Chain A
Amino acid sequence: MSLAFRGVACDRGARRLFEGVSFALAAGEAAVVAGPNGVGKSSLIRIAAGLLSPAEGEVAVTGRIALLAEAAALDAERTVCEALRFWAGLDGADAAAVTRALNDVGLAALAGVPVRMLSTGQRRRVAMARVVASGTPIWLLDEPGNGLDAASLARLEALIARHRGAGGIVLAATHLPLAMPDARIISLSGEGAA
């Protein structure tokens, strides 16, 4: 499994956000996309996920992808457990994987609570649980630390470390300091930002 960018550029509207981004991640490796607001961190993640096409260059992905995006994509009226099971079904994961993932993010107690009752941080952790439960090798995390308290941040760092230990790849965009040992830093300069 691998994730590689070769000379990738991204346009939003008529504006060039970034260009010449190249990196390659192999099993167990991680990269952090850093840079100020509006520089294209989320766009880079969306390009890696195949949701945006790059203006130049190419992206090579082998292996299945799990995406943690800004939008939670959880049905508000269903319970946490049901909402996760829907996605687990699509991912080919079983109910036990959902339970384990909820334990991992520290939300096992809220499994029966409707998603609309959750706080921002809790919703974020449920979305993270979906990534964990999916069992996919490549994690694309867009601002995974947003809205999390200190304990949850530590749990997130532990989950990322465990995933890499098991041979997974992590690409995270964040403006918060996130402890990821020997992660490559992909620094997007602010040139393209208005």
Chain B
Amino acid sequence: MLALTLRDVRRGYAGGGATLVVAFFLLVTILFPFAIGPDAVVLARVGGGVIWAAALLAALLPVERLVAPDLESGVLDQLRVRGVSLALVAAAKIVAHWIAFAPPLMLATVIAAGLLDLSGATLARVEIGLAIGTPGLAALAVTTGALVAGLRSGSAVAGLVMLPLAVPLLIFGAGGLDPVGGAGAFKLLGAVSLVLVAGAPFVAGAAMRAGMD
């Protein structure tokens, strides 16, 4: 499990994957001031939500590289011959994907907050939300990656599969920005994230097995 996780973390960072996600995330957040106009008050009000939406889109980017290469190159076959359960493989991939994608994203959020003129308090709430929500997002990404691994137009389908399922994370993540009722939203965000992390290895494992026949 540790060896698998280390391998995937290395692949996540080695392929320039983390840089790509961060660059894409910042680019999306930069687009909003252009679209809405440089009104600092408006930007500060919508900024937290913008960061959440951008994080969601950025999380979609590496989905196709999470499982499909291992299916094609026979790595999953070799693991199964060795009696490693695919649910365990999926769990390792979720942990590795979170390590490769969440910390860079949370660092980039600090920069994005500066671009959108967010207050320190809002930034703190966004970061707390991301810390709670990104494990769920990583679980969702690996599951989607496993589901679309055998498909030809995988990346297009991946967006259609993943984004609707990520809506609860977005709702409660953005809900957590509210200084009054935020705590309740964080609890619900945590619940959604936990459900995703708990269920994803089994769904992703079954999807990988289906893809191997």
A residues at B contact (CB < 8 Å): 49-52, 65-67, 69-75, 77, 86-87, 89-91
Which of B3, B73, B74, B84 lies in contact with A86, CB distance below 8 A?
B3
What distance in Å separates the Cβ of B108 from its nearest Cβ neighbour in chain A?
25
- 1/0 per residue B80-91: CB within 8 Å of A? 111010000000
What distance in Å separates the Cβ of B136 from its nearest Cβ neighbour in chain A?
28
What distance in Å separates the Cβ of B175 from its nearest Cβ neighbour in chain A?
41
Q: Does B212 contact A (CB under 8 A)?
A: yes
| Bound Cα distance A66, B79 (Å) | 11
Which of B14, B74, B80, B81 lies in contact with A72, CB distance below 8 A?
B74
Is the CB–CB distance between A67 and B3 below 8 Å? Answer: no
Which B residues are in CB contact (< 8 Å) with A74?
Answer: 73
Q: Does B213 contact A (CB under 8 A)?
A: yes
How many residues of B are counted as interface, with CB atoms below 8 angstroms from the partner's CB atoms? Answer: 17
With A74-B73, A89-B3 known, 18 other A-B pairs at CB within 8 A are: A51-B81, A52-B213, A65-B81, A67-B77, A69-B74, A70-B74, A71-B73, A71-B77, A72-B73, A73-B75, A73-B77, A75-B11, A77-B11, A86-B3, A90-B3, A90-B79, A90-B82, A90-B84
Q: List 16 A-B contacts (CB under 8 A).
A: A49-B77, A51-B77, A51-B80, A51-B212, A52-B213, A65-B81, A67-B78, A69-B74, A70-B74, A71-B73, A72-B74, A73-B73, A74-B73, A75-B11, A90-B3, A90-B82
Is the CB–CB distance between A50 and B7 below 8 Å? Answer: no
Q: Does B72 contact A (CB under 8 A)?
A: yes
User: Residue of A at shortest CB range from B15?
Assistant: A77
| Bound Cα distance A66, B78 (Å) | 8
Is the CB–CB distance between B7 and A69 below 8 Å? Answer: no
What distance in Å separates the Cβ of B137 from its nearest Cβ neighbour in chain A?
25
In chain B, residues 33-69, which have Cβ atoms closer than 8 Å to a Cβ of chain A? none
User: Residue of A at shortest CB range from B81?
Assistant: A67
Is the CB–CB distance between A77 and B77 below 8 Å? Answer: no
B residues at A contact (CB < 8 Å): 3, 7, 11, 14, 72-75, 77-82, 84, 212-213
| Bound Cα distance A74, B72 (Å) | 11
| Bound Cα distance A50, B86 (Å) | 14
Which B residues are in CB contact (< 8 Å) with A52?
Answer: 213
Which A residues are in CB contact (< 8 Å) with B75?
Answer: 73
Which B residues are in CB contact (< 8 Å) with A65?
Answer: 81
User: Residue of A at shortest CB range from B213?
Assistant: A52
User: Residue of B at shortest CB range from A134?
Assistant: B82
| Bound Cα distance A72, B70 (Å) | 11
Is the CB–CB distance between B77 and A69 below 8 Å? Answer: yes
With A52-B213, A90-B84 in contact, do A77 and B74 touch (Cβ < 8 Å)?
Answer: no
| Bound Cα distance A77, B14 (Å) | 9
Is the CB–CB distance between A86 and B77 below 8 Å? Answer: no
Which A residues are in CB contact (< 8 Å) with B73?
Answer: 71-74
Which B residues are in CB contact (< 8 Å) with A66?
Answer: 81
Is the CB–CB distance between B81 and A71 below 8 Å? Answer: no
Which of B14, B81, B213 lies in contact with A49, CB distance below 8 A?
B81
Which A residues are in CB contact (< 8 Å) with B212?
Answer: 51
| Bound Cα distance A67, B81 (Å) | 7
| Bound Cα distance A91, B82 (Å) | 7
User: Residue of B at shortest CB range from A53?
Assistant: B213
With A50-B80, A52-B213, A91-B82 in contact, do A86 and B7 touch (Cβ < 8 Å)?
Answer: yes
| Bound Cα distance A1, B74 (Å) | 26
What distance in Å separates the Cβ of B103 from its nearest Cβ neighbour in chain A?
22
| Bound Cα distance A89, B5 (Å) | 13
